[in-house]
Amino acid sequence: MDNREMILETALDLFYARGYDAVGVQEIAERSGVTKPTLYYYFKSKYGLLEELLESRGAAFMERLHKACAYRGDLKNTLCMAAGELVSFAEQEPKFYTLFLALYHSARENEAYQAVRPLVLRLQQEVEQIFASAAGLLGNMHGRQRQFSLGFIGLILFDTKMRLEVNDGLRMAVSQDEINSLVHQFMHGIYS
């Protein structure tokens, strides 16, 4: 692993364990086995390091989510695909997933929140597009696409976070049946 990757991995471990605000550049550098000037050479600042961490880990996930959210005329199936990608992301990257949620729940003026906000907005837009595409087929959805997308995201993110918590924070396995059940529960709510 090169210095740049080592710094990113170390930062992820430290931010996951103690939070972005509680970790300093000196600690990241020392734990990475590099000097502060080396860290600054690659990332310019702690904020730049966080942005790169979010971009590098979030880009592949967003690409997969974009494909999963492509509406193909079947709302339940598309929602199951989207939920499956969110769950798969949490299973494969539990530290990053947990950090993502923690940053999202930071104070709005906190730089950590500012760094994660574009990723959060992309997530919301991808899921909202599912409901916008299905609106013509489902009369009760018209004009409520954002409401439904936010509810769906909240259900899946919270369920996944709780599953991680009850399994030591780093391991979980969610079956396709469990994903289908969550989506069914959500759909029951939007049709009522």
pLDDT band at 168 (very low <50, low <70, confident <90, very high): confident
Angle at 66 between CA 104 and CA 130, to 5 degrees: 90
**1-44 sits in which CATH class?**
mainly alpha
DSSP H helical ranges for 44-138: 46-68, 75-92, 94-104, 111-134
pLDDT in tens, 16-69: 999 999 999 999 999 999 999 999 999 999 999 999 999 999 998 899 999 999
pLDDT band at 143 (very low <50, low <70, confident <90, very high): confident
CA-CA-CA-CA dihedral for 38, 43, 45, 50, to nearest 10 = -130
Structure tokens at 132: 């916008």
Q: What are phi and psi of 71, to 5 degrees?
A: -75, 130
What burial class does residue 40 get, using C-beta atoms within 10 Å of its C-beta: 0-12 exposed, 13-18 middle, 19+ buried? middle
Q: pLDDT for 112-139, tens place per residue?
A: 999 999 999 999 999 999 999 988 877 6
* 167 alpha-carbon distance from chain centroid: 19
Whether the predicted pLDDT of 170 surpasses 80? no
For the chain, strand residue ranges (E) read none
Gap between the Cα atoms of 73 and 60, Å rounded: 25
Q: Where would I find the beta strands (DSSP E) of 7-138? A: none
> Tokens 């969610």 label which residue?
174
Rounded to a whole number of angstroms, the distance between the first and last alpha carbons of the chain is 52
- Specify the fold of 58-191: Tetracycline Repressor; domain 2 (1.10.357)
Q: What is the mean pLDDT of residues 73-101?
A: 93
Domain regions of the chain by residue span: 1-44, 58-191
| Alpha carbon distances (Å) from 26 to 31, 32, 35, 82 | 9, 10, 8, 39
CA torsion sign for 21, 25, 27, 32 is positive
Q: Regarding predicted confidence, which is higher, 164 or 126?
A: 126
pLDDT at 9: 97
